[in-house]
Amino acid sequence: MPSITVLEFEKLIDELEGNIRKTREIAGRENRDVGVEIEDLEKNRDALLREFFDALTPWDNVLLARHEKRPYTLDYLPLLFDDFLPLHGDRLFDDDGAMIGGLASLDGKPVVVIGQQKGRDLKERAQRNYGYARPEGYRKALRLMKLAERFNRPVITFVDTPGADANVPSEERGISEAIARNLREMSVLRTPIVSIIIGEGGSGGALGIAVADRVLMLQHAVYSVIAPEGCASILWRDPARKAEAAQAMQITARDARALGIIDEVLPEPLGGAHRAPEATGEVIKEAVVRHLKEVGRLSKTRLLSSRYEKFRSLGRFIDPEAPEDSATPPAENPAVVSP
């Protein structure tokens, strides 16, 4: 297990890349051929990256998911869609900067796009409330989903939030009700929904736009019931044990796939999505198109019944009265059923 975090590791890689750049510059000035040296340096860098990324801890994935350079929803939209037309407001109270949405076309087909959005700089972070969506965000998202339903357009949602906003005004305006309503309404929305967890899948705030026919997740994104710091402070009264909590809660894409929570892990370029956003965008687009095609074939009745079954079946427990043939129990514990 690496003894440094991925962010510390990235500093080493940055140094290495600085050296490569300098070597190039010097060679250019002195008119020397350094192709071989540079190739060696780059090989060396990629080997280091591969070695480190093969042994990423869950906490490293948290750091990558929260990376300040990680592509956000708005970075992916131009890579996936033509002519995104942003739409604003929940028609009830406000427009939430942490939740964006609008119309777009995916390979020429009209879709509704919804996504949580963090800010890049201080000003934008404040405007987007650091990605903590407020009740208006969830209500705007639902308004757009209902629009999609009425006009029979698929919905694509991008999940990237530390959690829903828990400040006083959000509590006053019913943040819980807004999320709960989305969970209920999305489970019966009569149009296909595909969700992609692109960064932080923070608890109910993430789930509030992720009750979908297909849930996809980028390789280094995380999805968790509570932030690791919150889990550590509640369980052990010590937020510093966050890495331990991240490990215990099984929050990586691979974990989520193994638990049957998500449908597919989308691979990221070596070193993480921020090192090659365009390539990441291509991977997301290919997967979204493929999954939409699959669920788009289902009748509305089938679509809704399989969406219900998908979430209905999530859970592992012991049922002493379960008929032998009613479930396929995991091999390691025959009494545990996933109905």
188 scored as a contact of other proteins (CB under 8 A): yes
293 scored as a contact of other proteins (CB under 8 A): no
Per DSSP, the three-state class of 181 is: helix
* Least distance between other proteins and beta carbon 3 (Å): 23
- Name the one range near other proteins by CB under 8 A: 66-74, 77-85, 114-122, 256-264: 256-264
- CA 146 – CA 34 distance, rounded (Å): 59
* Least distance between other proteins and beta carbon 308 (Å): 6
Pick from 287, 266, 311: nearest CA to 194: 287
Q: Which is nearer to other proteins, 157 or 224 (CB)?
A: 224
Spatial CB neighbours of 124, under 8 Å, sequence gap ≥ 6: none
* Least distance between other proteins and beta carbon 296 (Å): 21
Spatial CB neighbours of 287, under 8 Å, sequence gap ≥ 6: 196, 216, 264, 266
Q: Copy the structure tokens of residue 183.
A: 């969970």
Q: Copy the structure tokens of residue 263.
A: 């449908």
Per DSSP, 324 falls in state G
Pick from 313, 102, 109, 294: nearest CA to 213: 294
Sign of the torsion formed by the C-alpha atoms of 194, 289, 262 and 201: negative
117 scored as a contact of other proteins (CB under 8 A): no
Do 249 and 236 contact (CB within 8 A), yes or no?
A: no
CB-side exposure of 307: number of CA atoms within 13 Å? 28
Q: Which is nearer to other proteins, 32 or 316 (CB)?
A: 316
- CA 103 – CA 84 distance, rounded (Å): 6
223 scored as a contact of other proteins (CB under 8 A): yes
Q: Could you tell me how many residues of this chain bind other proteins (CB under 8 A)?
A: 65
184 scored as a contact of other proteins (CB under 8 A): yes
181 scored as a contact of other proteins (CB under 8 A): yes
Q: Which residues partner with 266 through β-bridges?
A: 218
320 scored as a contact of other proteins (CB under 8 A): yes
Among 15, 51, 278, 319, binds other proteins (CB under 8 A): 319
Among 211, 221, 273, 283, binds other proteins (CB under 8 A): 211
* Least distance between other proteins and beta carbon 24 (Å): 45
251 scored as a contact of other proteins (CB under 8 A): yes
Q: Which is nearer to other proteins, 24 or 257 (CB)?
A: 257
Q: Copy the structure tokens of residue 211.
A: 């009750």
Q: Which is nearer to other proteins, 106 or 225 (CB)?
A: 225
35 scored as a contact of other proteins (CB under 8 A): no
Residue type present at position 119: G
Interface contacts to other proteins, rule CB under 8 A: 132, 164-177, 179-181, 183-185, 187-188, 203-204, 207-208, 211, 223-226, 229-231, 233-235, 248-251, 255-256, 259, 261, 307-308, 311-312, 314-323, 326, 333, 335-336, 339
